[in-house]
Structure 1
């Protein structure tokens, strides 16, 4: 494990970029597709309902679950890159 202060700063910056990216995707899917863009998505049908309603009810939940796994995968990669992984 490295105790270099610059390594810690770089690790934290990479972590924050990942968190902000995940939050942007989450906000777009939850608020954008489920609320703001719902009228635009109303003409597209998925599973017997329109796409906007689907995003508001199920799509945002499924997207959030995918984001959790993506975040864990990327954090493991960052930990390995910065020498902080578990052995």
Structure 2
């Protein structure tokens, strides 16, 4: 089965947003987590690095999931492959 140019455009857009969001995930998980050790002050009685790793990362993960779902729904509608509700 030959894929049309429209299929290739859809797939490129999908791969592009996936790569960007994986880059954000990597940055939040490894880069900020690595440098959070240098944050040596307390925040509500806990080390601030704990709050960055435990709370801030979770907020970013939920935001990534929300954005990806919203983006892909719009992309599906744009290319005519959205699911019928």
Partner residue of 2:69?
72
Give the count of matched residue pairs: 83
Shift of 1:48: 4.2
With normalisation by structure 2, the TM-score equals 0.79
Alpha-carbon distance in 1 for matches of 2:28, 2:41: 16
With normalisation by structure 1, the TM-score equals 0.78
Q: How has the CA–CA distance of structure 1 residues 45 and 24 changed in structure 2, closer, same or farther, with 3 Å as cutoff? A: farther
SS state of the match for residue 56, structure 1?
Answer: helix
Q: Which 4+ residue blocks in structure 1 deviate beyond 2 angstroms?
A: 43-53
Q: How has the CA–CA distance of structure 1 residues 39 and 69 changed in structure 2, closer, same or farther, with 3 Å as cutoff? A: same
Q: How has the CA–CA distance of structure 1 residues 65 and 5 changed in structure 2, closer, same or farther, with 3 Å as cutoff? A: same
Is 1:53 the equivalent of 2:53?
A: no
- The answer to which structure, 1 or 2, has the higher relative contact order (CA under 8 A, 6+ apart) is 1
Q: Which 5+ residue runs of structure 1 have no aligned equivalent?
A: none
Is 1:38 the equivalent of 2:13?
A: no
Alpha-carbon distance in 2 for matches of 1:28, 1:74: 21
Partner residue of 1:20?
19
Q: Which 5+ residue runs of structure 2 have no aligned equivalent?
A: none
| CA RMSD between the two structures | 2.2
